[in-house]
């Protein structure tokens, strides 16, 4: 068990922020989280965050996963004082962090996200993992499923994942899996690339458009200059930034501010 006092960190806001889909509140007040082959229970109480894991796992995995070394107060402090809307959005979602998630899992997650909502995306991923992921057991005896590998999903028929409620997105996921399994798409290479080049490589995958590529770059590769534009962000731009979002003022942290805006619009803080 590891306890930390962490500024600008809210499990509830991260869970609802639309960037991770295997994090759930539990009846005990904790959150359970599955990431890659890792399982974690974590809770916040009396101003402290408690991670129920060994110190080695916290330091080697979860600390980076939650981006705990970064000062999000610094990002918030860069916001133009006269921008009342963005300051309100940042204050409303001040506990959000940009997670460092698995690249393959994010490719699948955001392929599924197209024309979909968070609850349905969660269910689709739960179905895929339960049907094709490896069954694992946590340190306290918890049973959970790892995210299925590209090789596993590449062996499926293109419409096989319709049974997991993916609909037309089934072929997107299976074709992406085949591209990776047969070496046409090199995930290790993409991990090493700068933002613009990684984005171009991701756009080569069947079904990946600009928004999906930017989500993958932001939430898997931690390219904080990525600024995904979905319907919520587009609405915010139309209402508050008709001359365009001032990205030049926020070089290197546009994605953090995008998450504040997205959460503000999604959660009805506006």
Q: Has 211 been annotated as catalytic?
A: yes
Per-residue b or e along 118-150, where b marks 16 or more CB atoms closer than 10 Å to that residue's CB: eeebbebbbebbeebbeeeebeeeeebbbbbeb
267: left (phi over 0), alpha (psi -120 to 50) or beta: alpha
CA distance 215 to 226: 7
82: left (phi over 0), alpha (psi -120 to 50) or beta: alpha
SS (H, E, C) 21-41: CCEEECCCCCEEEEECCEEEE
How far, in Å, are 135, 186, 225 from residue 146 at the CA level?
6, 21, 30
- How many other C-beta atoms lie within 10 A of the C-beta of residue 181? 16
**Of 78, 171, 211, 270, which residue is the catalytic one?**
211
Lookup: tokens for 22: 């295997």
Which helix (DSSP H) or strand (DSSP E) does residue 180 occupy? helix 169-181
SS3 content of the chain, % helix, strand, coil (to 5): 50, 10, 40
Closest CA to 67 of 75, 56, 79, 78: 75
The catalytic residue positions are 211
């Amino acid at each position: 068990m590891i306890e930390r006092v962490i500024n600008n960190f809210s499990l509830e806001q991260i869970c609802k922020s639309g960037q991770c889909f295997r994090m759930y509140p539990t009846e005990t007040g904790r959150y359970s989280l599955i990431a890659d082959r890792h399982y974690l229970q974590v809770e916040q109480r009396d101003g402290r965050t408690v991670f129920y894991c060994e110190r080695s796992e916290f330091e080697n995995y979860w600390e980076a996963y939650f981006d705990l070394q970064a000062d999000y107060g610094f990002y918030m402090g860069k916001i133009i004082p006269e921008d009342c809307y963005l300051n309100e959005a940042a204050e409303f979602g001040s506990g959000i962090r940009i997670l460092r998630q698995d690249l393959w899992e994010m490719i699948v997650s955001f392929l599924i996200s197209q024309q979909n909502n968070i609850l349905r995306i969660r269910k689709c991923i739960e179905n895929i993992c339960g049907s094709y992921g490896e069954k694992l057991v946590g340190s306290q005896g918890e049973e959970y499923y790892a995210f299925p590998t590209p090789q596993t999903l590449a062996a499926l028929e293109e419409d096989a994942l319709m049974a997991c409620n993916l609909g037309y997105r089934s072929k997107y996921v299976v074709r992406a899996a085949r591209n990776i399994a047969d070496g046409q798409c090199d995930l290790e290479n993409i991990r090493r690339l700068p933002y613009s080049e990684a984005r171009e490589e991701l756009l080569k995958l069947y079904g990946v458009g600009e928004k999906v590529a930017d989500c993958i770059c932001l939430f898997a590769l931690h390219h904080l200059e990525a600024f995904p534009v979905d319907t919520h962000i587009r609405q915010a731009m139309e209402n508050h930034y008709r001359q365009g979002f001032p990205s030049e003022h926020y070089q290197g942290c546009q994605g953090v501010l995008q998450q504040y805006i997205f959460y503000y619009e999604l959660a009805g803080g506006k």
